[in-house]
């Protein structure tokens, strides 16, 4: 997302794109429904824990490691192969995200570096920093043109400035832009998808839209499918109003589906089936 020649609050300007206000309102209603469930008043910690697990599974699936939920639940070894490392990274990120909320608004680049360290869990010297010129990126499921290191640096700084300055944009819009920008840039040598979705989670929680982290958008993105996800991302990268609005709508629908998932968990607990 280029901010050159933009308004003082370019994120807020996105809220006026066709259909965005409707997406924001639909998300708000979906979130209110799950927060209003009677089980949330008594067992919200259980819902949060289950949402984290399901969110991690969804994020890993979008990065190519599509495991059944029960497999994610029972496994303890996440270093056996690449799929296991992806799932392990996703689980670590969901656990870490809540601890970084207070840092995000002051130093988003520091948080992104930390997210990459947690996801990669490696001593590789490329971990925890944006890639440099000539360094390859291991993100095989995203085939969009890769911005060079200089563009990555400039756009990351611009994104960080927007976050630190604050915005009147709805949380959904900010989360969608953070998510889309990180996927478009792929600033790290690996695990950019996991990091982008974890950053979206941080925005949704920290903004107050989903303070208890019970509306895992990763679940919704996975349910909508990788083809839909990548097509919407292409819209974001195009930079057109229609493309940006379509990406925000995709992210909104993902939050709604995450809320629906947790509502189903609430219903199961209420019936005594979980």
pLDDT tens track for 230-245 = 999 999 999 999 999 9
pLDDT attached to residue 274:
45
176 or 124, higher pLDDT:
176
| Among candidate residues 2, 5, 8, 10, the one with its CA nearest the CA of residue 169 | 10
Q: What would the mean pLDDT of 33-62 be, rounded to a whole number?
A: 96
Tell me how far apart the alpha carbons of residues 177 and 123 are, in angstroms, rounded to a whole number.
30
Q: Are 220 and 256 in contact (CB under 8 A)?
A: yes
Cα–Cα–Cα angle for 271, 273, 274, nearest 5°?
115
**Residue 3: what pLDDT?**
44
Distances (CA, A) of 51 to 149, 213, 222, 263: 35, 7, 14, 10
State the average pLDDT over residues 211-239. Answer: 97
Calculate mean pLDDT across residues 133-145: 91
What are the structure tokens assigned to 52, written together?
């984290």
- pTM (2 decimals)? 0.94
Tell me the Ramachandran region of residue 208: left when phi exceeds 0, alpha when psi lies from -120 to 50, beta otherwise.
left
Residue 79 has pLDDT above 90, yes or no: no
pLDDT at 162 over 50: yes
Count of CB atoms situated within 10 Å of the CB of 76: 5
Dist CA 236 CA 191 (whole Å): 20
Rounded Cα–Cα distance for residues 1 and 178 (Å):
9
Question: 1: pLDDT confidence band, cut at 50, 70 and 90?
Answer: low
Question: Is residue 58 predicted with pLDDT exceeding 70?
Answer: yes
pLDDT at 8 over 90: no
Of 181, 205, 10, 213, the C-alpha closest to 109 is 181
What is the reported pLDDT for 46? Answer: 96
pLDDT attached to residue 76: 86
Residue 71: name the closest of 93, 45, 90 by CA: 90
State residue 7's pLDDT score: 56
Q: What percent of the chain has pLDDT over 70?
A: 97
d(CA 269, CA 36): 15
């Amino acid at each position: 997302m280029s901010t050159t020649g933009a308004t003082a609050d370019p994120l807020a300007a996105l809220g006026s794109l066709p259909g965005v206000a409707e997406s924001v309102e639909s998300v708000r209603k979906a979130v209110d429904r799950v927060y209003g469930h009677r089980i949330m008043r008594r067992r919200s910690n259980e819902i949060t824990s289950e949402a984290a697990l399901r969110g991690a599974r969804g994020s890993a699936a979008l990065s190519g490691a599509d495991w059944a939920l029960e497999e994610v639940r029972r496994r303890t070894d996440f270093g056996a192969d690449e799929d296991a490392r992806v799932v392990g990274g996703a689980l670590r990120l969901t656990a870490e995200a809540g601890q970084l909320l207070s840092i995000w608004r002051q130093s988003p680049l520091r948080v992104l570096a930390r997210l990459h360290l947690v996801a990669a869990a490696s001593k590789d010297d490329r971990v925890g920093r944006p890639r440099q010129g000539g360094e390859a990126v291991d993100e095989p499921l995203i085939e969009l043109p890769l911005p060079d290191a200089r563009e990555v640096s400039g756009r990351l700084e611009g994104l960080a400035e927007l976050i630190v300055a604050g915005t009147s944009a709805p949380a959904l819009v900010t989360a969608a832009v953070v998510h889309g920008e990180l996927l478009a840039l792929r600033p790290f040598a690996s695990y950019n998808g996991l990091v982008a979705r974890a950053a979206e989670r941080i925005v949704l929680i920290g903004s107050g839209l989903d303070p208890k982290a019970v509306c895992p958008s990763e679940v919704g993105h996975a349910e909508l499918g990788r083809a839909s996800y990548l097509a919407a991302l292409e819209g974001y990268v195009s930079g057109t109003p229609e493309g940006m609005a379509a990406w925000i709508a995709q992210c909104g629908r993902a939050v709604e589906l995450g809320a629906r998932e947790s509502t189903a968990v609430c219903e199961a607990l209420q019936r005594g089936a979980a």
